[in-house]
Structure 1
């Protein structure tokens, strides 16, 4: 999921991501919520993957 969020520059919605990932929209919503719940912990990690950038976290917030 984070790969698509990182690579696509346009606004994404839950249904678009679900279609791309071939998973139900409710799974996308739950995953986004889990990532956002732990985003503070992720930001504090020195060796975080670039997919966890502030830009991508903000994209996730817009998807909800």
Structure 2
């Protein structure tokens, strides 16, 4: 089972994987993989990322690393 995580830690994970912030509205920010294929929305106005959202973000990072051209 996956635990919740601070938003800062999640954003650091995305940046380390090469994702860049592209857009945002309100308390959410959108990040895209370096190839522009995998978008991820992060609720950055919150202190913690819930386990379900974190699971989707980690899956997006894996999808980018597996399916995007190198």
TM-score under structure 1 normalisation?
A: 0.36
TM-score under structure 2 normalisation?
A: 0.33
> As a proportion of its length, which structure holds more helix?
1
The higher-RCO structure (CA 8 Å, 6+ apart) is 1
> As a proportion of its length, which structure holds more strand?
2
